[in-house]
Amino acid sequence: MNDLGELRYFLGIELARSSEGILLSQRKYALEMISNTGLSGSKPKWTPMEKNLKLTSSEHDLKFSTKSDDVPLEDRSIYQRLVGKLLYVTITRPDISYVAQSLSQFMHAPKKSHYEVALHVVKYIKSQPGLGLLISRKGDEKIVAYCDSDWASCPMSRRSVSGFCVKLGISLISWKSKKQNTISRSSAKAEYRCMAQTIAELTWLKGLLQEVQLPIDL
């Protein structure tokens, strides 16, 4: 076993220490992704996804006779690799969690429009490739969680999307954006299911922090 000193880079994640805390980012990984997609000279985007954009599958378009010149990708592996990279970037970029989970639904049969949305996300990352998470030295040892749901937002299944984030003091330590497993027949049911997912995450985090002997207050 060798002591390599302070951890600075691990599996594409960069760590920078300062008096404020520890900054986690994936700047190098993001720049390589931008270069590999051929978007180094493109203009950056300032939102991860177009407003009110709803992604659908080819089967949904055929079922409802949607008129569109949108065609399936000939080589779906290009899309699959790019979305896989975007999912990995969500380790330090919670701001793209929603669009990443949306794009991951079409890995088996991506369309041209799906790939264009994925490239849009890369252009958004290009605007601030070094953006990351700050694990602050300040703040109290209290866990605070926020959650919300988007009722029946999926145009194909009418399932709702849950989202939550958990902070320890002022530091963000957990987050998720995920489609719910069942269809909620009211917005209240969607909200309760979202709260249940958040409580489950809080219970797991509480046990984890107790194992490392960190006193916490929920």
Whether 31 and 85 have beta carbons less than 8 Å apart is answered as no
Give me the half-sphere count of Cα atoms (radius 13 Å) on the Cβ side of residue 38.
1
**Residue 171: pLDDT over 70:** yes
Cα distance between residue 11 and residue 178, in whole Å: 25
Task: Answer yes or no: are the C-beta atoms of 141 and 35 closer than 8 Å.
Answer: no
Q: Which amino acid is at 6?
A: E
The encoded tokens of residue 155 equal 């145009």
Res 72 pLDDT > 90: no
Q: How far apart are CA 91 and CA 194, in angstroms?
A: 21
Q: Is the pLDDT score of 209 beyond 60? A: yes
- Give the separation between CA 181 and CA 161, rounded to whole angstroms: 9
pLDDT score, position 18:
87
Residue 7 predicted with pLDDT over 60: yes
d(CA 32, CA 121): 14
pLDDT surpassing 90 at residue 188: yes
Report the pLDDT value the prediction gives residue 60, as an integer from 0 to 100.
62
Tokens encoding 39: 């978007």
Q: Where are the beta strands (DSSP E) in the chain?
A: 9-10, 13-18, 21-25, 133-136, 143-150, 161-168, 171-179
Region 189-195: mean pLDDT is 94
Query: Residue 217 gets which letter from DSSP?
Result: B
Residue 122 has pLDDT above 80, yes or no: yes
How many whole angstroms from its chain centre is CA 79? 17
To the nearest whole number, what is the mean pLDDT of the chain? 87
Give the C-alpha separation, 150 to 199, whole Å. Answer: 18
pLDDT 10s digits, 10-29: 888 999 888 888 999 999 99
Weakest-pLDDT range from 51-65, 134-148, 176-190: 51-65
